[in-house]
């Protein structure tokens, strides 16, 4: 009998999506419940706010455009803050001053993948944004985030100054949209089963175990 095939899990999400922040922790908790199931995690880009310009906009301007007013977001934010706290995460919306376009963040995550650091970079960017109110439109903030995760700061700074992989990331995000993904996070298992939303870890763990067993049974036939 051959070795168990790893289950491919494509996680479609954005670094400025609070439910993606929560969902990342929940999928990690789910994986801890099924340590015997080998998986291969791929972080896939999604643009929660594709209309935000590359240079970003002021947070108040963004909240007014998206929710009608800054105050209108406060009630929504309260629920998300509570949900984050239940996962041991900190979300301080009052600290966020600038709303970024996230294509450079996704480029950074992509570049971290060969070193096995994509998940770490994604986590760092989310912490900077949600916990610390960091300005993800600032190149030096992105460079420092990369350096914090063990990537070469000078190399990242040089690459961010170019259009390297802008077309690739844009195409990947469009592909997700073309496949009908409109809400994130979305977890795609074995490239054929999708679960949308920051689901409970127990539910995700059951899906992981069931689909892994299915693909390995198919491979054994």
DSSP reduced 3-state for 14: coil
Taking Cα atoms as reference points, which of 18, 160, 163 lies closest to residue 81?
Answer: 18
pLDDT score recorded for residue 1? 45
CA end-to-end span of the chain, whole Å? 11
CA distance 113 to 121: 9
DSSP character at residue 179: T
DSSP letter string, 141-177: HHHHHHHHTT--HHHHHHHHTS-TTHHHHHHHHHHHH
Q: Which two tokens stand for residue 157?
A: 């700074």
* Global confidence as pTM: 0.96
pLDDT score recorded for residue 2? 60
DSSP reduced 3-state for 67: helix
pLDDT score recorded for residue 111? 98
Average pLDDT taken over every residue of the chain: 96
pLDDT score recorded for residue 75? 85
Average pLDDT over residues 183-193: 96
Domains, the chain, in order of start with CATH, read 7-220 (3.40.30.10)
Computed on alpha carbons and rounded to an integer, the radius of gyration of the chain in Å comes to: 18
Tens of pLDDT along 147-184?
A: 999 999 999 999 999 999 999 999 999 999 999 999 99
pLDDT score recorded for residue 221? 77
Taking Cα atoms as reference points, which of 62, 132, 52 lies closest to residue 92?
Answer: 132
DSSP character at residue 192: T
DSSP reduced 3-state for 40: strand
Q: Helices 139-148 and 118-126: crossing angle, nearest 10°?
A: 130
pLDDT score recorded for residue 3? 78
**Is the distance from CB of 29 to CB of 193 less than 8 angstroms?**
no
Tens of pLDDT along 35-77?
A: 999 999 999 999 999 999 999 999 999 999 999 999 999 989 9
DSSP reduced 3-state for 18: helix
CA distance 142 to 104: 8
Q: Helices 70-86 and 18-33: crossing angle, nearest 10°?
A: 10
Burial of 20 (0-12, 13-18, 19+ CB in 10 A): buried
Taking Cα atoms as reference points, which of 166, 151, 141 lies closest to residue 115?
Answer: 151
Count of CB atoms situated within 10 Å of the CB of 68: 10
The dihedral formed by the CA atoms of 167, 108, 187 and 35, expressed in degrees to the nearest 10: 140
């Amino acid at each position: 009998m051959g070795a168990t095939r790893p289950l491919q899990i494509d996680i479609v999400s954005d670094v400025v999506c609070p439910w993606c922040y929560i969902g990342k922790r929940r999928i990690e908790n789910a994986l801890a419940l099924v340590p015997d199931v080998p998986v291969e995690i791929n972080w896939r880009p999604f643009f929660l706010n594709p209309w935000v310009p590359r240079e970003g906009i002021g947070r108040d301007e963004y909240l007014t455009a998206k929710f009608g007013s800054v105050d209108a977001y406060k009630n929504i934010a309260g629920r998300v803050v509570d949900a984050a706290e239940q996962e041991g995460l900190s979300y301080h919306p009052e600290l966020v001053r600038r709303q970024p376009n996230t294509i450079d963040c996704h480029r950074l995550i992509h570049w971290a993948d060969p070193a096995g650091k994509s998940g770490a970079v994604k986590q760092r960017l989310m912490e900077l944004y949600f916990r610390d109110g960091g300005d993800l439109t600032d190149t030096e903030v992105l460079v420092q985030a990369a350096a914090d995760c063990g990537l070469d700061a000078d190399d990242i700074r040089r690459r961010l100054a170019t259009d390297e992989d802008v077309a690739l990331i844009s195409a990947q995000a469009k592909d997700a949209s073309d496949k009908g993904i409109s809400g994130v996070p979305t977890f795609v298992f074995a490239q054929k089963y999708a679960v949308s939303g920051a689901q409970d870890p127990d539910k995700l763990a059951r899906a992981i175990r069931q689909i892994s067993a299915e693909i390995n049974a198919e491979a054994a036939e």
